[in-house]
Amino acid sequence: MPLLCALVGAAFGASSAPSETPVALILDSATPLPGEVATALHHEVESIFRETGYSFHWVNRREMRADDSFPDLVVIRIKSTCGGRDVPAPAVSKGHAALAWAHVSEGEMLPFIEVDCARLGRMLRAAGFGESALSQRQMMGRALGRVLAHELYHVLTGSSQHAHSGVAQPALSPAHLTTSTLTFTARELSLLTRRSYAARQTQPPAPTLSEEPVFESGR
């Protein structure tokens, strides 16, 4: 919790425009992402946000030093393993489960996202997402990037509103996660290009994290 509080404070302390300073995306994962997954993840997020003015600096939490400082950042906690063949077999669904969620405090969006790779992997495996281990990991990276882009949209805009289509729609199906392209709508692009999440407020509320999924990204 002390580390998270410090990171949240740093993220809300700046007031730069999206095009001036890259947003540090700090990946906190118990198990390192396979190379193919990480490459596809980075490519997908950067491709989706290409027209928004935002750029990103990817940081491995394990490699951070005590004196590292970032004016704008989002902490991304990766739950479970994000491989291909090593994901669990599809489980019987008991209703809709969130693939990723952002945290809020007193109605304010915090720069803290969690992604459940086990759920994402089961969804993709049930949909039959590739034959080889390489293609499965590349597809996992693409899907992970789109789920993350959905939650980044909420964090960067500070809005819980969804779009009728595209990355910011309420739920992303297996088809949405695996199709060749998925983008923001024109309206959501306009919201992202004219707002800097770090400038929304100078005094953030106390970071009391919600334990429940905030935004469901997959059904």
Of 78, 113, 84, 119, nearest in space to 98 by CA:
119
Residue 25 lies in a domain: yes
CATH number for the domain harbouring residue 128: 3.40.390.10
Of 80, 35, 25, nearest in space to 197 by CA:
25
- Residue 217: band (very low, low, confident or very high) from pLDDT cuts 50, 70, 90: very low
The answer to whether residue 95 scores a pLDDT higher than 90 is no
pLDDT digits (tens, 9 = 90+) for 28-72: 998 889 999 999 999 999 999 999 989 999 999 999 998 998 989
Residue 68 lies in a domain: yes
Of the chain, the percentage scoring pLDDT greater than 90 comes to: 46
Give how many domains the chain has, as a whole number.
Answer: 1
Of the chain, the percentage scoring pLDDT greater than 70 comes to: 72
Q: Do residues 48 and 96 make contact, with C-beta atoms less than 8 angstroms apart?
A: no
Residue 217 lies in a domain: no
Range of the domain at 184: 2-199
Residue 215 lies in a domain: no
Distances from the Cα of 195 to the Cα of 17, 52, 71, 74, angstroms: 7, 10, 16, 16
The answer to whether the pTM exceeds 0.85 is no
Residue 152 lies in a domain: yes
Mean pLDDT for the stretch of residues 94-115: 85
The pLDDT assigned to 205 comes to 42
Residue 124 lies in a domain: yes
Residue 218 lies in a domain: no
Residue with tokens 């969130």: 98
Residue 66 lies in a domain: yes
pLDDT digits (tens, 9 = 90+) for 137-176: 899 999 999 999 999 999 999 988 999 999 999 999 988 9
A 10 A CB-CB count for 87 gives 22
Sheet arrangement for strand 56-60? 56-60, 23-29, 73-79, 108-116, 100-105
